[in-house]
Structure 1
Amino acid sequence: MGKQIIVKTLILFAMLGYGFASQAQVQVSARTDTDHIRIGEQVKLILSATVPNQGVGNVVFPQLPDSFSHWEVVSRTGLDTSAANGNKVFQQTLVLTSFDSGSWDLPALKFDVLNNGGVTDSAFTDSLRIEVGTVAVDTTKAFKPIKNVRSVPWNFWDYWLYFAIGFSVIIIGIGLLVYFRSRPKKAVVKPTAPAVPPYEVALLALKQLREEKLWQQGDVKQYYTRITDVLRAYFEQQFNIPALEQTSEELLQHIKPVTVLNQQRDRLRDLLTVADLAKFAKLHPTPEEHERALAQAFEIVEWTKPAVEKAKEAEKTNDAGKTEGAGN
């Protein structure tokens, strides 16, 4: 039991001796380049630590905040390293200023001594006192008048960038104007009249659609797409209405100036409504509605075909009636 106490005591004294030895080996200091400044002036605080090349791992410098007890840190340098008398010397310079008049202390600063990656001891500098004085004002002299606002003379080079941008915009605008005016205009291509009248093409397409029996085969969407496409193509060729590029509502608006076509407005609206619901809303019309849609398409084409063609057909019908009567 007594031996254990003796061993522990020896270890404790050894650790204390090592600590004192490390503290004695590391020398730290803090000094300023002046001990008196005026408000707003700057003072340099030089921190240094002398470390032997062997026996001490490293030293951690104190980290001063940007503002502390009447002082502001303006700037700080990195650590400068040099060698002297077999020792390593680390140095850092901080620039301080104060805006409070009086006698202010720079507190003692702590340096940590590192060995094997851990803090083993600390060393402290002495505190420093610096006088911060005010600016002397001579009250015996009269106050000077306030200076008038002075205007700065106009200088072209202060605004050259704005002039350059404006001039460039003008040049680009003139260039675009000249280009568009001098560009050859595209000749308007007039649509050539088809060899077969448009109404005959439409009637033939509707008859072919009826023979294909698409809705009977379950292809309802294609059935109504073909009906509306035939009518739209017919309107474009017969009345110069861009029907293929318009929605149903736009098409109904554009047929108003065409009297003969506008007379079929209600029938066309009913057909387009059912077709849009079948194509886009997946509506399944009844067989009667399928037949009525195709019949409406035939009626629209028959009603709107040119009056000359109607007169020719009427004349043919009359001739056929006369021939049949003469035969009887």
Structure 2
Amino acid sequence: MRFSRKETIVTIIFTLSCTMLYAQQVRVKASVNRDRILIGEPIVLQLEAELPEGESYTWFRLDSIDHFEWLAKGSVDTLDAVQGKLYKQLVTITSFDSGSWTIPRLSLQVKNSSYLTDSIPVSVEYSNADPNKPYHDIRDIIEVPAAETNKVNYIIAIVTLLAIAGLIYLLTRKKKEKVEAKIPTGPVMTAYEKALSLLSALKPRLMQSNGHVKNLYIELNDILRDYFREEKLVLEPDSTNDQLVVRIKRYINKEQAIRLAQSLRLVDAVKFAKYQPSSGENEEVLNSVQHAIEGINEQIHQKQTN
């Protein structure tokens, strides 16, 4: 059966119109509740698709996204829409890599066609603590008037004489009989046992601090840092708290890493911004630090046992 040229053109226009009308009935969208986060903070990614009634589809593939990690994937909810059905899913992600990253375009498959969402830029940053301030509280350098030259010379001469006298005493005194070294009366504490003991002693003081917690938060931070150093997990003494979390997150699960990151940001706020936490926040910070140490110790112990 042959079609005339006019019939062929009409057929093509009709086909294109139907295709465009169908495409208008399919709508996909991806959005986030925030596009700027601190390391370890969660992001809620909402995925939407509006399709004609009864249309079959293949939902967005949620495998992996560079620089992001999945925390939770909610179920796909179905709602009535003007032109069919609206499908929604909430998924929670986070990132432990600082920098400017992009959630890529995600694809929804309907029949033989793919519909892509827009890409979404996200900025992942360290905490807002002042990086120019020393991490541990150190007293400022106190300027003193320069001493007169003669006084300085006298002091140097006296110190030198005392040093010579001490050296002569050490060289001329009789050697003492060798004494066997004393054997420790108790077992040596491991880094894990030491950290838990210090946290246990710190807890009642923190709970009864009545708002004066800055020094206690510094002590808490030092307990965690000392544990990391003794376990040789973090050797850099000038690492920020966010950098500490990035370096040890492979030893703990995602929930513990997020709670620890949030707690250490609170520690920074207390130390550098004079933030006054509540008693509930004090307990939460202490518990998150303890759970992180327990999780790390268990992970290291399992590796050594295996």
When normalised by structure 1's length, the TM-score is 0.38
Structure with the bigger RCO (C-alpha within 8 Å, sep 6+) is 2
Q: TM-score, normalised by structure 2?
A: 0.41
Q: Tell which structure's C-alpha radius of gyration is larger.
A: 1
